[in-house]
Homo-oligomer: A and B are copies of this chain.
Amino acid sequence: MTSIVTDIRPPVDSSAVVRKLGALTLLSETEIDFLEGLQNNKVEVPDGVDFITDGSDMNATYLVTKGWAIRYSLTEDGRRQILSFALPGDILGLHVNFRRTATYHAAGLSQLELAVIEPLRIVEISQNYPVLAAGLSWCTAREFAILGDQAVRLGRLSAYERLAHLLLELWHRLRLISETDGKWLEVPMRQTDIADTLGLSLVHVNRQLRRMQSEDLITVEKDWIRLNDVKKMIALASFDSKHLSEFRL
């Protein structure tokens, strides 16, 4: 059966990862406690500081608990491509047991709070918590699908479509962790970050954003964006949300 965002989920005061996995499967008390316990080693990462560096050794898995992180890659001459966003509840470096060398950089947009998780605890999950293990594997598969969507955006959508498509991805993902009321999103990105995500120039992103505002699809205020007509936006960007929330066991 397919489980969708609107199902019953744990109370809002639980951590993002619990909200995320809890939206997909029914978590037992033990499992919730274990997930919360994973987060007792928290770290603050200042704005813009890399906590993962391409080519360097990774010896931990990171769970985002507050703020947004980006995974990105740099060319020799300094061009930056943002590969994906890690929102609260997302995990970076799950593969740490099999590939110790990072293949990307990761840093926070704005201030970031991370839980640092020992590789051994990941092993522990797959041995003792089958439901959580399935949840993590689902997360991995989902990341993969999201990265595929990113490739479609970059390769085959126009600038305007890319922008709409990205906003819809973020909207869906934030919805899964109850970080949007259904309209407004808090988006800690600068226009430069959007440009480096969508493979566009800063100036062009600015123009497409203005256009989207003038067409009343979005409203922008400080770090907040409101999606005024999700349905129209989905049509415009030929967006398919099934990669983001579908789950079967």
Residues in chain A within 8 A of chain B (CB atoms)? 55, 71, 73, 75-77, 79-81, 83, 95, 97-101, 103-104, 134, 137-138, 140-145, 147-152, 154-157, 196-199, 238, 242-243, 246-249
Query: A80 is contacted by which of B142, B143, B156 (Cβ under 8 Å)?
Result: B156
Give every chain B residue within 8 A of A144 (Cβ-Cβ). 95, 103, 143-144, 147
The distance from the CB of A68 to the nearest CB of chain B, in whole angstroms, is: 18
Interface centre among A80, A144, A246 (most CB of B within 10 A): A144
Give every chain B residue within 8 A of A55 (Cβ-Cβ). 242
Give every chain B residue within 8 A of A151 (Cβ-Cβ). 73, 81, 83, 147, 150-151, 154
Establish whether residues B103 and A243, one from each chain, have CB atoms under 8 Å apart when the complex forms. Answer: yes
Establish whether residues B103 and A137, one from each chain, have CB atoms under 8 Å apart when the complex forms. Answer: no
In the complex formed, the residue of B with least CB distance to A152 is: B81
Interface centre among A100, A141, A248 (most CB of B within 10 A): A141
Establish whether residues A199 and B155, one from each chain, have CB atoms under 8 Å apart when the complex forms. Answer: yes
